[in-house]
Amino acid sequence: MKFILSSSVLFKNLQVLGSILNTNNTLPILDNFLFEIDNNTLNITSSDLETSLSCEMTIDSSITNKIAIPAKLLIDILRTLPEQPLTFSINNNNTIEINSSNGKYAIAYMDGSEYPKLQIIEDASELNIESISLQKIISSTLFASGNDDLRPVMSGVFFQINSSKSCFVATDAHKLVKYSRSDINSSESVEFIIPNKPLTILKNIFSDDTGTVKILFNKSNAIFNFANFKLFCRLIEGKYPNYDAVIPKENPNVLEIDRNLLLQATKRASIFSSKSTHQIKLDIKGNSLKVSAEDLDFNNKSEEILDCNYDGEDIIIGFNSRFINEMLNNLESKSIKIELSSPNRAGIISPIESNDQSEEILMLVMPIMLN
Domain positions in the chain:
2-114, 125-158+184-240, 247-365
Residue 210 has pLDDT above 80, yes or no: no
pLDDT of residue 208 exceeding 80, the answer is no
Dihedral class, residue 38 (left if φ above 0, else alpha if ψ from -120 to 50, else beta): beta
* Residue 234, pLDDT score: 96
Residue 367 in 3-state DSSP?
coil
Q: What is the pLDDT of residues 62-88, one digit of tens each?
A: 889 999 999 999 999 999 999 999 999
Kindly report the number of other CB atoms within 10 A of residue 44's CB atom.
22
pLDDT grade, residue 370 (50/70/90)? confident
Confidence of residue 371 (pLDDT cuts 50, 70, 90): low
Please count the CA atoms within 13 angstroms of the CA of 137 that sit on its side-chain side. Answer: 28
DSSP 251-284: --EEEEEEHHHHHHHHHHHHHHS-TTT-EEEEEE
Do the beta carbons of residue 99 and residue 87 sit within 8 Å? Answer: yes
**Assigned CATH class of 2-114:** alpha beta
Task: Provide CB contacts within 8 A for 259, sequence distance 6+.
Answer: 328, 331, 333, 334, 335, 336, 351
* Segment 35-50 mean pLDDT: 95
In this prediction, residue 191 carries a pLDDT of 94
- Cα(160)–Cα(76) distance, rounded to whole angstroms? 41
161-182 residues labelled b (16+ CB within 10 A) or e (exposed): beeeebbbbbbbeebbbbbbbe
Is the domain 125-158+184-240 a CATH 2.60.40.10 member?
no
What's the rounded mean pLDDT across residues 106-120?
91
Mean pLDDT of the chain: 94
In tens, the pLDDT along 258-276 reads 999 999 999 999 999 999 9
- Could you give the C-alpha distances from 59 to 5, 27, 43, in angstroms and in order? 5, 29, 10
Contacts of 190 (CB under 8 A, 6+ apart): 125, 127, 159, 160, 161, 162, 217
Residue 183 has pLDDT above 80, yes or no: yes
For helices 196-205 and 131-141, the axis angle rounded to 10 degrees is 130
> From CA 344, how far away is CA 318, in angstroms rounded?
9
**163-168: long-range contacts, CB 8 A cutoff, minimum separation 24:** 163/187, 163/188, 163/189, 168/137, 168/140, 168/141
In tens, the pLDDT along 297-349 reads: 899 999 999 999 999 999 999 999 999 999 999 999 999 999 999 999 999 99
The pair phi, psi for residue 156, each rounded to 5°, is: 180, -175
Residue 105 has pLDDT above 90, yes or no: yes
pLDDT at res. 297 = 87
Residues paired with residue 319 on neighbouring β-strands, in sequence order? 280
Residue 4: which of 98, 114, 94, 133 has the closest Cα? 98
The full DSSP string for 62-75 is --EEEEEEEHHHHH
| Backbone φ and ψ of 238, nearest 5° | 125, 170
Question: For residue 172, what are the contacts with CB-CB under 8 A and spacing of at least 6?
Answer: 144, 145, 146, 147, 148, 154
Mean pLDDT of 14-24: 93
The superfamily in CATH containing domain 247-365 is DNA Polymerase III, subunit A, domain 2 (3.10.150.10)
Q: Kindly write down the DSSP assignment for every residue of 280-317, as one continuous string.
A: EEEEEETTEEEEEEEETTTTEEEEEEEE-EEES--EEE
Quote the pLDDT of residue 36.
96
* 2-114 matches 247-365 in fold: yes
Residue 24: partners with Cβ closer than 8 Å, 6 or more residues away: none
Q: What percentage of residues in the chain have a pLDDT greater than 70?
A: 99
Would you state the pLDDT for residue 164?
A: 84
Report how far residue 134's alpha carbon sits from residue 130's, in angstroms, rounded to the nearest whole number: 6
Residue 119 has pLDDT above 90, yes or no: no
